[in-house]
Amino acid sequence: MTTAARGTPLIEVRNVSKFFGGVNALQDVSLQVFEGEVMCVLGDNGAGKSTLIKILSGVFPPDAGEYLVDGSPAGFAGPRDARDAGIATVFQDLATVPLMAIWRNFFLGVEPTRGAGPLRRLDAGKARRIMSEELGKMGIDIRDPDQPVGTLSGGERQAVAIARAVYFGANVLILDEPTSALGVRQSGIVLKYVVQAREVGKGVIFITHNPHHAYPVGDRFALLKRGRLVGTYSKDETSLEALTSMMAGGEELDALSRELQAMSGDPALADVARQLTEGETGT
């Protein structure tokens, strides 16, 4: 997909700010996501990523600035309004209910029914079939739809939540650190679904502190630091090395690395120092 701006963004914030008492969690941040693109929001702890997601998913309005959906003011009174407008947020931990069967998790209260009035019944067969089809489209083969979601891997669980959001008509998917608790292989599974959601024309906002996860799937990259937007870069304007170094603050890292090296001849510390300068960020 190209990264050129295409018409009206699906969602856009302009110069939004948010304060918590004396804390300026977000200052003057602007961001858009277009159809068929993955916009990565990168930032360290406390950078304001969750605050930005909460604004985008309708949890609270910004204290200043604008929020536009399809070019019109959002005016959301809560997360339900945002969902109704096709903006689905998948949170790391709250994505699914562990003890519930996979197919029930997929529908969560909006299961298909058959019959009318007092004869209305849950159409479990149809629900299972739809779920298997939708997950199949994302390349996930569910052996047993009745198996509790808790028995799936973290990556598969994220995938169920993403497939559900896509099925229920979300235009915009907001993924809050979907890979932060996952190992390499499972992160790979989730990243694959991020790409698939883009391929079917969704706008994806992928929040992460890990440039190694963001760079391969992202079309554009917004970097937040202490509540401010450092910049927004398209893929051809940046590189994995540049993102890693900007995120960590290249100079700060170099200083830390020198300090660690100076502390001792301990090979383990030297190793940490070397990894820091090479931009290894773990997970």
Which positions touch ligand ATP (CB under 6 A)?
20, 23, 25, 43, 45-51, 209
Residue span 49-88 as binding mask against Mg ion, x where in contact by CB under 5 A, dash where not: xx--------------------------------------
Among Mg ion, ligand ATP, none, partner that 64 touches (CB below 5 to 8 angstroms by kind): none
**Which lies closer to Mg ion via its Cβ, residue 42 or residue 102?**
42
Q: Shortest gap between Cβ of 45 and Mg ion (angstroms)?
A: 8
Q: Are residues 163 and 135 in contact, defined by beta-carbon separation less than 8 angstroms? A: yes
Q: How many CB atoms lie within 10 A of CB 139?
A: 11
- What, of Mg ion, ligand ATP, none, does residue 74 touch, CB below 5 to 8 Å by kind? none
Q: Which residue has the tokens 């339900």?
A: 80
- Partners of 41 in the beta sheet? 207, 222
d(C-alpha 225, C-alpha 241), whole Å: 17
The residues facing 244 across adjacent strands are none
Q: What is the 3-state secondary structure (H, E, C) of 91-159?
A: ECCCCCCCCCEHHHHHHCCCCCEECCHHHCEECHHHHHHHHHHHHHHCCCCCCCCCCEHHHCCHHHHHH
- Do 233 and 225 touch, CB atoms closer than 8 A? no
Residue nearest to Mg ion (CB): 50
**Minimal distance, residue 26 CB to ligand ATP, in Å:** 7
Name the one residue in this structure whose structure tokens are 């277009």: 34
CB of 4 to Mg ion, least distance (A): 30
Give the one entry of Mg ion, ligand ATP, none that residue 20 binds, where binding means its C-beta sits below a cut-off of 5 to 8 angstroms depending on kind.
ligand ATP
CB of 283 to ligand ATP, least distance (A): 13
CB 276 within 8 A of CB 260: yes
First to last CA, the chain: 27
Residue (208 or 257) nearer to Mg ion, CB: 208
Q: CB of residue 85 vs Mg ion: minimum separation in angstroms?
A: 23
Q: Check residue 30 for interaction with Mg ion (CB under 5 A).
A: no
Q: For Mg ion, what does the binding mask look like between residues 167 and 206, x meaning CB under 5 A? A: ----------------------------------------
Residue 131 CB neighbour total at 10 angstroms: 23
Q: Which is nearer to ligand ATP, 51 or 257 (CB)?
A: 51
Whichever of 45 and 72 has its CB closer to ligand ATP, that residue is: 45
Q: Which of ligand ATP, Mg ion, none does 48 bind, CB closer than 5 to 8 A by kind?
A: ligand ATP
Q: What is the size of the binding site for Mg ion (CB under 5 A)? A: 2
